[in-house]
Chains A and B, each alone.
Chain A
């Protein structure tokens, strides 16, 4: 009979022991999370001062970033958005650290994953931002050069270049994030190759006549241009 009570009692005792053992961990977690919010708050306050000193908002306005955000119906000040992002990022990081204090296997491995993934997410973001800038630059260069060369479908060409670059950059970013890398590479090869081949075919088959005309025209022009206008 005693055994039976022992059997009944044992789980409660274990639970209690576990609870007593767990409470310090739990408190540690709470403290870390609270500290996280505090640190995030301090960083936010410092950054906010720095932003207003550097007139970050005005800079965003002039760079056209504000207008971009507002077209997406985001109406807060750019600095507020930045501050919120930084604040919550720090808060989440500390929350993750805090969770490890619980010493639970599942959570531990989750936070491990989170922290090992962080650098990749950063570099993917960086690729996207730099890629966005480069894409705009290159496609505009193509557009202007094509117009100045008298090419009728300049915008189309520039858009095509932009699409190609976007596909390339998205593929790079996804590859960096390691989202099904095999499929990304394969899909990218197929899409990119497809575009190139279809362009080649389009220009090859459809453009022979046009190309001949262009060549004929330019050689004709060479013949007749004796003295052209001097611009300088």
Chain B
């Protein structure tokens, strides 16, 4: 992005001029002496078979300001866990791998479960949550940065830009989210472009100026999976374990901290990762399920903030959304034409149709059972119910990594 526009509530840090990575990293090395940092990487074993991770590891080898990496590994057998360890051993600083399917971590989950605190289904949310727990149990660092392991275009500048605002004590930010454009020969990021933004604005029209909607609308890429935060935030946050994760995290930040201490940062000129396929019929698959979960999370947060929903409300919302989404498509089409990008109007229109279905489905779920929330309890809550649970987790991870 080349402008310097500030969105409404939160701070936006742009990419201006030609920032030098060496200077950033040099300063980061200084700051992290006071505020040591952990990098959390949620990953599936299948990602170790893809190419993206090799590039990421090559880049991470050169980073000197990260104190430890905590990789939360999902869907891996014991052998695969060992292979992943071998893979990660190339990194010259501390790496801990959380073996989510291992017998010890499973015991930890079972312990939490039988005390009435279900940690949710297997997924990125739960996996990241467990990693936060370990970071707090080990208590070696004050800052947590997190990004996915499927970024094809990864460079360590992303990480540096992402954590700089939180680590630098003069900026004093508790939460920093990455943003970027996702363009190849066409624009990606359909869920953000065509679902979230039009949905938020349609809601704003119906509900009136709500703080949370304004907050969410300030983010240029609310679905970006890259963020950095102070460890305390991980202590009180309750995050969803489903696809509502990113929006859920934002809602918890909104609930616990002033927007003045929240920022977003332009981390990359171009960004690419693997794409989800759109399946309009099967709600439990791919983008469709993601859209349902995201819409549900937004509705749930608003309901908790006191917004009253009804059948009629959702009817007008669907209509309002559809109009805004169609307007948005026209805008993006113009944008694509100017930049000589491919713009498949039909595909985009199909996506919007699917999103309308998703909104309807989410509204039904909410009306049927407004209290059924897929939230993982906060670590604070868990450790007050089960004293020593963090020590238990730490023992499990340390033992697994021996």
- Report A-B touching, CB under 8 Å: yes
Chain A residues packing against B (C-beta within 8 Å): 55, 57-58, 61-64, 66-68, 70-71, 73, 75, 77
Number of A-B contacts (CB under 8 A): 48
> Are B392 and A66 neighbours in the complex by a CB distance under 8 Å?
yes
- Measured in the bound complex, the distance between the Cα atoms of B374 and A102 in whole Å is 64
A-B contact pairs, 10 of them (CB 8 A): A55-B114, A57-B114, A61-B386, A64-B387, A66-B386, A66-B388, A67-B392, A73-B395, A73-B399, A75-B107
Are the CB atoms of A67 and B391 closer together than 8 Å? yes
Chain A interface, >50% SS class: helix
Q: Which residues of B contact A (CB under 8 A)?
A: 103-104, 107, 110-111, 114-116, 385-389, 391-392, 395-396, 399
The 6 closest A-B pairs by CB, nearest first: A67-B388, A64-B387, A70-B392, A61-B386, A67-B392, A64-B388
Cβ of B111: which chain A residues have Cβ within 8 Å of it? 57, 61, 66
Min distance, Cβ A221 to any Cβ of chain B, angstroms: 39
Once the chains bind, are A71 and B387 in contact (CB under 8 Å)? Answer: no
Q: Which chain A positions have C-beta within 8 A of B114? A: 55, 57-58, 61
A75 to B386, CA, bound (A): 16
Partner of B103 from A64, A68, A75 at Cβ < 8 Å: A75
Q: What residues of B have a CB within 8 angstroms of the CB of A66 in the complex?
A: 111, 386, 388, 392
Q: Which residues of A contact B110 (CB under 8 A)?
A: 77
Choice from A58, A68, A70, A75 contacting B115 with Cβ under 8 Å = A58
> CB-CB < 8 A to A61: which residues of B?
111, 114-115, 385-386, 389
Q: Are A71 and B391 in contact (CB under 8 A)?
A: yes
Docked complex Cα distance between A70 and B396 (Å): 8
Residues of A within 8 A of B396 (CB): 70, 75
Smallest CB gap from B102: residue in A: A75
A219 to B116, CA, bound (A): 56
Report the separation of the CA atoms of residues A108 and B355 in the bound assembly, to the nearest whole angstrom.
81
Name the A residues within 8 Å of B386 (CB-CB): 61-62, 64, 66-67
A75 to B107, CA, bound (A): 7
**B385 & A62 in contact (Cβ 8 Å cutoff):** yes
Known interface pairs A75-B104, A75-B107. Does A68 touch B399 (Cβ–Cβ under 8 Å)?
no
Assuming A57-B111, A66-B386, A68-B388, what are 12 further A-B pairs, CB within 8 angstroms?
A: A61-B385, A61-B389, A62-B385, A64-B386, A67-B387, A67-B389, A67-B391, A70-B392, A71-B388, A71-B392, A75-B103, A75-B107
- Inter-chain CA distance A64–B110, complex, in Å, is 15
- Report the bound CA distance from A160 to B114 in whole Å: 38
Q: A133 to nearest B CB, angstroms?
A: 15
Separation of A58 and B111 alpha carbons in the complex (Å): 7
C-alpha spacing A57/B107, complex, angstroms: 12
- B395's contact among A58, A62, A71, by CB below 8 Å, is which? A71
